[in-house]
């Protein structure tokens, strides 16, 4: 009997260990749930980026640490006060941060998934931008157009005039008409929409050998150094179309090359004479 008792005592931890490892037996539903939760958390972090919610999360983290310390130290009064704060704090947060929540919901409604069926095709957007650049070049009108990729350009949109208009060659020509209020800044394109005009972009600090390159080219290079945007420039002096990507400026593009660049195709490497 003693032997049986010893065997049964040995089986208990083994069984418990096996039960613990059963938690690691994941099915496809678990994988789907983890992927969905990770995506939701990622989108929430993107929505909170650059808002007061980041400071709020840091404040909550400090309060949680304070609560843990007070609980371990058996500071009853402090624990009681923090529990009250945690109980009613979310309602106060909803009131304080309702502008951010409203903006987040609006941004969610403008996401690529929800706009999938009403979005213009990328080829149509490419054609409209290429046509606008060609007409601006022939007219000798300066312009700068930034096409947003994965890195959001929201902070630069806020520096100009926010718009929400479908991309069209006629609208781009109207925006860059000389002496119009928005012609000096950059236009920012997101998806199939013009989301900003008259936007101020960061200037590159690169030393350019070609002194004919002005502020527009420096701004295009500056944005391409800080983001993955494709930035297109029409020179007012030389009527030449240039493109800035990943901190590199390429000049003398044709309409066909503009279409290739906007479609994501790689252009030939430029000659190292600009910088």
* 205 or 72, higher pLDDT: 72
Percent of the chain with pLDDT over 70: 69
| pLDDT the model gives residue 170 | 93
Contact between 246 and 179 (Cβ < 8 Å): no
Task: Give dist(CA 255, CA 186) in Å, integer.
Answer: 20
Contact between 187 and 233 (Cβ < 8 Å): no
pTM value > 0.75 = no
| pLDDT the model gives residue 19 | 57
Q: How many angstroms separate the most distant Cα atoms in the chain?
A: 102
Domains and CATH numbers, the chain: 2-109 (no CATH), 120-262 (3.40.1700.10)
Write out pLDDT tens, residues 22-64.
Answer: 555 667 777 788 888 888 777 766 666 655 566 677 777 888 8
What is the residue-averaged pLDDT of the chain?
A: 77
* 113 or 145, higher pLDDT: 145
| pLDDT the model gives residue 70 | 85
* 19 or 200, higher pLDDT: 200
Tracing tokens 């008259």 back to the chain, one arrives at 198
Task: Give dist(CA 149, CA 167) in Å, integer.
Answer: 16
In this model, does residue 253 exceed pLDDT 80? yes
| pLDDT the model gives residue 270 | 46
Write out pLDDT tens, residues 80-114.
Answer: 888 888 887 777 767 766 665 665 555 555 445 44
Percent of the chain with pLDDT over 90: 20
Write out pLDDT tens, residues 166-193.
Answer: 999 999 999 999 888 888 889 999 988 9
* 129 or 98, higher pLDDT: 129
In this model, does residue 223 exceed pLDDT 60? yes
Hey, which residues does 186 pair with through a beta bridge? Answer: 199
């Amino acid at each position: 009997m003693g032997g049986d008792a010893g065997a049964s005592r040995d089986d208990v931890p083994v069984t418990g260990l096996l039960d613990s490892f059963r938690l690691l037996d994941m099915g496809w539903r678990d994988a789907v749930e983890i992927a969905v939760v990770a995506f939701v958390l990622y989108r929430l972090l993107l929505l909170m980026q650059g808002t007061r919610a980041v400071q709020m999360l840091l404040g909550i983290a400090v309060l949680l640490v304070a609560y843990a310390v007070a609980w371990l130290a058996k500071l009853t009064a402090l624990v009681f006060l923090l529990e009250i704060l945690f109980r009613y704090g979310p309602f106060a947060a909803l009131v304080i941060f309702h502008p951010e929540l409203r903006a987040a919901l609006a941004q969610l409604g403008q996401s690529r998934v929800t706009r999938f069926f009403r979005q213009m095709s990328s080829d149509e957007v490419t054609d409209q931008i290429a046509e606008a650049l060609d007409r601006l070049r022939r007219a000798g009108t300066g312009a700068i157009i930034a096409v947003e990729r994965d890195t959001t350009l929201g902070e630069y949109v806020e520096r100009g005039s926010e718009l929400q208009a479908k991309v069209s060659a006629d609208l781009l020509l109207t925006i860059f008409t000389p002496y119009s209020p928005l012609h000096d800044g950059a236009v920012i394109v997101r998806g199939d929409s013009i989301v900003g005009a008259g936007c101020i972009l960061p200037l590159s600090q690169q030393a350019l050998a070609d002194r004919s390159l002005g502020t527009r080219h420096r701004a295009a290079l500056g944005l391409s150094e800080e983001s993955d945007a494709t930035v297109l420039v029409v020179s007012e002096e030389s009527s030449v179309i240039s493109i800035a990507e990943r901190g590199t400026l390429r000049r003398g593009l044709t309409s066909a090359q503009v279409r290739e660049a906007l479609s994501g195709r790689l252009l030939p490497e430029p000659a190292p004479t600009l910088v």
